[in-house]
Amino acid sequence: MKHTVVALVEDRPGVLNRVASLFRRRGFNIDSLAVGTTEEQGISRMTIVVDGGAGIVEQVEKQLYKLIDVVKVSDLTKEEAVIRELVLVKVRCNREQRRDVLDLVDIFRAQAVDVSPSSMIIQSVADEDRNDALIENLRPFGIRELTRTGRVAMVRGAKTTAVNESESAELQRFHHDSGRRPEGDLPFVSD
Amino acid sequence: MKMSGADIVLESLKRLGVDVVFGYPGGVVLPLYDRLPAHPEVRHILVRHEQGGGHMAEGYAKASGRLGVALATSGPGATNLVTAIQDAMMDSLPTLFVTGNVARNLLGKDGFQEADITGITMPAVKHNYLVMRVEDIAYTFAEGAYIATTGRPGPVHIDIPKDVFIEETEFVWPEKVSIRGYKPATTGHPGQVKKAAEIIDAAERPIIIGGHGVILGNAHDELRRFAEKTGTPVLNTLLGLGSIPRDHVLSYGMLGMHGSYEANHAASNADVIIGIGNRMDDRALGRFADFNPTAKLIHIDIDPAEHNKNVPAHVPIVGDVKLVLPQLIEAVSQNSHVDWLHWIDDLRQAHGHSMAVPSGPELSVQHIVRRISEMSPDATIVTGVGQHQMWAAQHMKFTRPHQLITSGGLGTMGFEVPAALGAQVARPGETVWAICGDGGFQMTLQELATMVDARTPVKMAIMNNGYLGMVRQWQELFYQDNYVSVAMTQPDFLKLADAYGIHAIRVTEKEQVDDAIREAEGHAGPVIVDFQVQAEGNVWPMVPAGAALKETVEAPRDASEVRS
């Protein structure tokens, strides 16, 4: 099963290396990894899609917490979340085909962001499944170039995964069963 | 007052209470060495190889319970530390490794003696730093030492470019360290403790596995009290030996690949297993899937990542064993398990022959280590890795924490000589024995010169059988006697000792052992004893790699089965 793990990390040199090195060393499979700044200065947000069972993801979470630069880890798979990925596709497209491509763009609620006499760049922001479907439908025209950002995600509703936000009841139960101590802001602690 | 980066490093070490550094100079750390004489409170011991310096810091940390510090120059100096850093990582030793690097404008330009050492050590440390501003040095040392010594201890590496040593700034020592991503665990979750206590109270055949965490957490008294209140027998991992006195009625010695028959079967037949400060390692548990799958496992560890890593825990408790054990002692009822102890005792009676000291005239390692332990019961014992290490673990009676210093997780041959030196520095005036393999001894024997310089009177017992004994044992048992690259022509260790000005004794007969031990301990300086032991002895019992603990193989009973 694919899990969406969000890690809030100190924005310091080498932190991406530490996280990537951990995944490599422990043999965790990364499907995608997206990194960017957050609402809080000095904190970066990594959204990591991990393929594996519950035991693997528990280890991923705990091992991430052992990194000193990792401040908070959340598994958004356990919550209702908005999940998005941006895709840019450069597709072969002459004047005659343009209408057909734009029809597809409409159906998938994507956008045409660049046009030339022989090509078009389509941008789509959606979850991976819809993007996969869009790409499959564009394939017959001839895909010249393709890039995907990897997944980013955010919990629905007023709750957040910010550093100081307390966790949902379900996550609390999970961490309780894993033996966490009751006090402290963080579900696990670096040791 | 302004200080140079070099002075700030040394001042920071003093604030941390560091009074000895094991180091080796080189180009980029010259600014630091230049300032050493101005800080006489920090003793510098010049090693002969940086790996040795690293193991000395480990031995010092183990023997003292304090931060061990090693220092090296950039490039090869730094890479030579890596084995010791990984060793300290595997065995959770509070250590600080300081390296110099090329000046900032040369970083990444492949200059002379440049290595991306923070990149290299990243997966081998608890945390590491490349300090790019002189203003950051003091805080980095305070934070680094805090990380190295708290929670689950471990190695911290600080890399400093040469010009940062030279720049000047005000020395500001932080009042306190606060890291938002690092809050070491303290007490256990009361709900989990209660759950564990209920399971323990209902247990009929409980065992405790006492690991290194008990010793690192200074919780040996709590372990003993917990075992006594619940009447639970205590098994130890290799690194957990000494967490309960071996002569305690509830101490049942080591479990695992070369654990005793009764310990391995007790672990396999227990209905409740209480792992305390251990990491459920394959060498201790055997094949994970068949490590007593029906028992209820309670696992107390300060590192939550150890829970459910190798075997699933029914009740994981995250916390400092020093604080969790009193919670548990409070929560459990007084109990005893006489029948269960008898069952284990009977196993020992019936299957003790595997660990019997050979009774014949041959000079055996078992006899030597047992005599050292009997004649010098308080000595700190440092071992290398291999057969002699296992025999020491089986036959020596460790009665206090930190008495055994050995490379458990990484299994680093050559650990013994430098680690013993570090231990001796930490415990001046006390007896330190290094039980050495003849192979491992030659990996780091350059530190004999350091031993003479530093006046550390370590007693080194070389178990000289002319073989890489453990490898030979595996080739005998699992590769049909196909001995490949295990026989070694050893140098004349007496002449070698003589070259270093070290007193040496040769022992070829069993009758000479006691005299040699007495003579070594009576000598004021370091001593090498060349014990020329029988060539082909095997460590028994043995759980073959990949087998379950209950599949423990015993020594052949019939003398005629024993290989000639």
The CATH number linked to B8 is 3.40.50.970
B137-149 vs B5-15: helix crossing angle, rounded to 10: 30
If asked whether residues A74 and A102 sit together in one domain, one would say no
3 state SS for B407-461:
CCCCCCCCCHHHHHHHHHHHCCCCCEEEEEEHHHHCCCCCHHHHHHHHCCCCEEE
If asked whether residues B340 and B363 sit together in one domain, one would say no
If asked whether residues A120 and A104 sit together in one domain, one would say yes
- For B248, phi then psi, to 5°, come to -70, 145
**Are A59 and B305 an interchain contact pair (Cβ–Cβ within 8 Å)?**
yes
Nearest-Cα distance to chain B for A156, in Å, is: 25
If asked whether residues B247 and B395 sit together in one domain, one would say no
Identify whether B364 is part of a domain: yes
Identify whether B225 is part of a domain: yes
When the pLDDT of each residue in chain A is averaged and rounded to a whole number, the result is 89
A55 and chain B: CB distance < 8 Å anywhere?
yes
On chain B, the residues whose CB falls within 8 A of the CB of A69 are: 181
If asked whether residues A64 and A97 sit together in one domain, one would say no
Identify whether A154 is part of a domain: no
On chain A, the residues whose CB falls within 8 A of the CB of B126 are: 68
Catalytic residue check, B170: no
If asked whether residues A6 and A74 sit together in one domain, one would say yes
Q: Between B39 and A170, whose confidence is greater?
A: B39
CA–CA dist B259, B278 (Å, integer): 15
If asked whether residues B484 and B419 sit together in one domain, one would say yes
Domain CATH for A170: 3.30.70.260
Identify whether A73 is part of a domain: yes
If asked whether residues A65 and A104 sit together in one domain, one would say no
Q: Which residue of A has its CA nearest to B324?
A: A181
From the list B127, B151, B316, the residue facing A178 with the nearest CB is B316
If asked whether residues B401 and B519 sit together in one domain, one would say yes
- Residue A95 CA: distances (Å) to CA of A22, A135, A142, B68: 49, 20, 15, 73
Catalytic residue check, B446: no
Number of domains forming the structure of chain B: 3
B108 and chain A: CB distance < 8 Å anywhere?
no
If asked whether residues A26 and A117 sit together in one domain, one would say no
If asked whether residues A50 and A63 sit together in one domain, one would say yes
A165 and chain B: CB distance < 8 Å anywhere?
no
If asked whether residues B204 and B83 sit together in one domain, one would say no
Dihedral over Cα of B144, B145, B150, B154: its sign: positive
The answer to whether residue A107 scores a pLDDT higher than 50 is yes
Identify whether B562 is part of a domain: no
Identify whether A56 is part of a domain: yes
If asked whether residues A122 and A55 sit together in one domain, one would say no
A53 and chain B: CB distance < 8 Å anywhere?
no
Catalytic residue check, B112: yes
Nearest-Cα distance to chain A for B231, in Å, is: 25
Quote ipTM for the complex: 0.90
**Are A68 and B127 an interchain contact pair (Cβ–Cβ within 8 Å)?**
yes
The answer to whether residue A168 scores a pLDDT higher than 90 is no
Full domain range(s) for residue A107: 82-148
If asked whether residues A110 and A54 sit together in one domain, one would say no
Residues, chain A: 191
In 3D space, the residue among B285, B290, B292 whose CA is nearest the CA of residue B256 turns out to be: B285
If asked whether residues B117 and B10 sit together in one domain, one would say yes
From the list B182, B187, B315, the residue facing A190 with the nearest CB is B182
**Which of B352, B376, B398 is the endpoint of a domain?**
B352
If asked whether residues A72 and A87 sit together in one domain, one would say no
If asked whether residues A36 and A55 sit together in one domain, one would say yes
**Are A67 and B181 an interchain contact pair (Cβ–Cβ within 8 Å)?**
yes
Catalytic residue check, B470: yes
Number of domains forming the structure of chain A: 2
The four Cα atoms B316, B319, B324, B327 give a dihedral, to 10 degrees, of: -80
Catalytic residue check, B143: no
Tell me: cis bond preceding B316? Omega within 30 of 0 counts. no
**Are B183 and A189 an interchain contact pair (Cβ–Cβ within 8 Å)?**
yes
Task: Work out how many CB contacts closer than 8 A connect A with B.
Answer: 100
**For residue B440, what are its two tokens?**
């491992």
**For residue B392, what are its two tokens?**
């020491």
From the list A25, A63, A69, the residue facing B181 with the nearest CB is A69
**Which of B290, B320, B352 is the endpoint of a domain?**
B352
Nearest-Cα distance to chain B for A145, in Å, is: 33
- A178 confidence band (pLDDT: 50, 70, 90): low
Identify whether A16 is part of a domain: yes
Domain CATH for A90: 3.30.70.1150
Identify whether B35 is part of a domain: yes
- A162 confidence band (pLDDT: 50, 70, 90): confident
Spans of chain B below 50 pLDDT: 559-564
Identify whether B185 is part of a domain: no
From the list B147, B180, B317, the residue facing A179 with the nearest CB is B317
Identify whether B452 is part of a domain: yes
On chain B, the residues whose CB falls within 8 A of the CB of A178 are: 304, 307-308, 316, 318
Identify whether B181 is part of a domain: no
Identify whether A72 is part of a domain: yes
Q: Counting beta carbons within 10 angstroms of the beta carbon of residue A113, is it exposed (0 to 12), middle (13 to 18) or buried (19 or more)?
A: exposed
Identify whether B342 is part of a domain: yes
If asked whether residues A55 and A42 sit together in one domain, one would say yes
- A164 confidence band (pLDDT: 50, 70, 90): confident
From the list B186, B307, B308, the residue facing A181 with the nearest CB is B186
Number of H helices, E strands in chain B: 23, 20
8 Å CB contact between A46 and A35: yes
pLDDT at A191: 47
On chain B, the residues whose CB falls within 8 A of the CB of A59 are: 305, 308-309
pLDDT at A1: 87
pLDDT at B183: 85
**Which of B170, B205, B240 is the endpoint of a domain?**
B170
Full domain range(s) for residue B42: 2-170
pLDDT at B562: 44
Identify whether A64 is part of a domain: yes
If asked whether residues B346 and B368 sit together in one domain, one would say no
If asked whether residues B255 and B194 sit together in one domain, one would say yes
If asked whether residues B348 and B363 sit together in one domain, one would say no
- For B529, phi then psi, to 5°, come to -110, 120
If asked whether residues B262 and B165 sit together in one domain, one would say no
CA–CA dist A191, B41 (Å, integer): 31
B516 and chain A: CB distance < 8 Å anywhere?
no
Identify whether A191 is part of a domain: no
